[in-house]
Structure 1
């Protein structure tokens, strides 16, 4: 594991490109529009203005439907555009100081993936038969379909065999190709389903030629720190903290959040988790938090605790959207975005302003990347914590969920940096359902 210095300043704006540009739901020979990836270019100045420093892209490679059923890892999805469009987007982003994170689906592939199509066409004698975990009927030959291991029961997602060296070599080739074209790192989709030893070999190989590359694995549960160590990763997705944020706000139970932050502190001793309150796989925070007045509290938590924050496109505008467990159930959280920032509704400005203010605060205190929290005051409805790293710098954050003003321990801080409070005699008076960051 090697944390590149640039990651210490990274704040991602995550986009699901196929939804963002309004692409067709399935691959077709002639998409109704060309060069859609370039629709992101008018938004790059907006990303800079928000204060983010990187663009985290969902799948951009040729696929059958939603991008997580990749068919050609060396080709931009025709619904998005061309290789030249990708190069233009990367150049425009880098010109503005924005990093690019790609989404790599290396646990499984779509059925149209060439290596699997060779298996279907040529049978047990195919050169790529060892790339998959297969069961052949007796006497099988060319044109006979075997049973195969898939991803979590999704038969259209063919699981790769990560014990096969040729698969590791292929993944290394894919990663190096796109890093060579200007990408800065990889999100590893469903990393939890892949042996850590596979990631360790791949990342070590890729780092030899791209030492500044960033690797973040998608992990839902488990021992995050152990997975980072074993896989040679830089980070993992901090789902436990995500759940604690919205759950504690909805239930008025800051004890759950305090416990999650305690575990988060332990992780920060070895790596900086990827923190988020929204992404392409979950109900939007504005819909998840039952009291809309508390959405800013979630943003405060995201941007004042240690980690590498990621903001999902539209969350900073208060977009709503509910993920449902059905076919097409992700569509509501993967919407078409306007053609330019000028077309955004003014309704989202208050939420944007909260994001903008807190991102600015975070960028003025870059040590927050590896800072840990210390509880100053804790009850069901009131939470105050001190956040600090190794140096003398510290911030104090206070959150109030109650319907009345509350006095909280100011932790020695006296200056209001964001939010609203009156500080007097070591105590901060925080308004009803309010918040404050003190320095």
Structure 2
């Protein structure tokens, strides 16, 4: 099979604007799971938000863990059972059905690196020891010592955490079980994609097998891996995954504002996506300003006035941009002493609290709308035009369509901005964010003058 066929992504991902939701937190689920209480359909609490997300121009939702787990969702107990704290199959089907009815795709967390100690096969090992037929399912399992829980065996955990038991993904029986779970999710709920948790700590050939398996399913799945560090091309390549998380861009987005150093962001973009030289040019990576594992963007930035600029950049740069629930109104949240709960709060009743800074939601909605309206922002090439400590300008181009994005992060007007646009000739450019504001191009230069404080422009030839 040709490599381009193996790598083919579902077409919708190029047009995606994600909302990322952590259901156990957003729905205020109790922790830990007692595994005895009847299911409570807390997922229904998300249903009133669907139209709100649609109004934000969201058209894809990434759901954090929704299957039975011991506590936070990443300690799976049963891949075939909806977490009773969130409801049952019918509750998840209602949510996915509501999203699909609004034209939204659904991606779910696939936590395949490890399971919780309550995972049914691991419980069998705890009960039967070496007599368990599942003893080969777990990495590093040995019966010559005790673990910290007092079991007469030891095993590998995620980064040494014994609550998270590492699966041996080389075992055919383990792969069959996980692949069967994926097939079940597709058939029962009609999901559109998987986010592979801890992908950067998993056997790469597991993803090759998953990709091959998914080609035989009744609907194509988008496969995206959580990768913190490394060359994303190890994971996003023909016959493997379609994309990874883009933590390099995440870091550059906030720290370049805090350090008044757009050179950092420009370097990251040139290295990753610059036309003709970027390592990941042509890949649609999953881009974000924050998520369930990192401090909220509103808490990371030293100055909240930069928050709209950060989102303008996110939505006009290559990738599939994602909002994290609540961040559209400037939700604060910091990880405290290793505790992730402040990052994963309950969702209030819609539409949520007032924006901080004011107008943030309207700005994000405008940026998302621009992305949907202009294919060049979704599929176009990236070319740097200007970089200064607090000003950045770049070109997105696709065929005959071109858009120029220019931002000034300073709290005062910039020095005059004069951008090289070879072949642009003479003409007028209109700012799509400020109706009626026009600028001239002459002799292959686009003259924007001084950019006002903390402002961004998206320009198109009139």
TM-score for the superposition, normalised by structure 1:
0.94
Greater Cα shift, 399-408 or 256-265: 399-408
In the other structure, the counterpart of 1:190 is 198
For structure 1, list consecutive stretches of 5 or more residues without a partner in the other structure.
none
Partners in 2 of 1:97 and 1:372 — Cα distance?
A: 27
Partners in 1 of 2:177 and 2:307 — Cα distance?
A: 43
Partners in 1 of 2:71 and 2:212 — Cα distance?
A: 32
In the other structure, the counterpart of 1:256 is 264
Task: Give how far 1:69 is off.
Answer: 0.5
Q: How does 1:20-419 map to 2 (within 5 A)?
A: 20-29=26-35, 34-133=40-139, 134-137=141-144, 145-180=152-187, 181-229=189-237, 232-265=240-273, 266-326=278-338, 329-341=339-351, 343-345=352-354, 350-389=359-398, 391-406=399-414, 407-410=416-419, 411=421, 414-418=429-433
Alpha carbons of structure 1 residues 348 and 28: separation in structure 2 relative to 1, 3 Å: farther
Partners in 1 of 2:252 and 2:81 — Cα distance?
A: 39
Greater Cα shift, 110-119 or 201-210: 201-210
Task: Give how far 1:114 is off.
Answer: 0.6
Deviation by residue 1:318-337 (Cα, 9 ceiling, x = unmatched): 111112342xx211111111
Task: Give how far 1:145 is off.
Answer: 3.0
In the other structure, the counterpart of 1:423 is 439
Partners in 1 of 2:355 and 2:228 — Cα distance?
A: 35
For structure 2, list consecutive stretches of 5 or more residues without a partner in the other structure.
1-6
In the other structure, the counterpart of 1:435 is 456
Q: What SS class does the counterpart of residue 257 from structure 2 fall into?
A: helix
Deviation by residue 1:57-102 (Cα, 9 ceiling, x = unmatched): 0001111111000101111111111111011111111111111110
Q: What SS class does the counterpart of residue 400 from structure 2 fall into?
A: coil
Greater Cα shift, 411-420 or 377-386: 411-420
Task: Give how far 1:346 is off.
Answer: 5.4
Partners in 1 of 2:324 and 2:391 — Cα distance?
A: 27
8 Å CA contact 2:254, 2:301 repeated in 1: yes
**Aligned Cα RMSD in Å?**
2.1
Between Structure 1 and Structure 2, the one with more helix by share is 1
8 Å CA contact 2:305, 2:357 repeated in 1: no
Partners in 2 of 1:218 and 1:46 — Cα distance?
A: 27
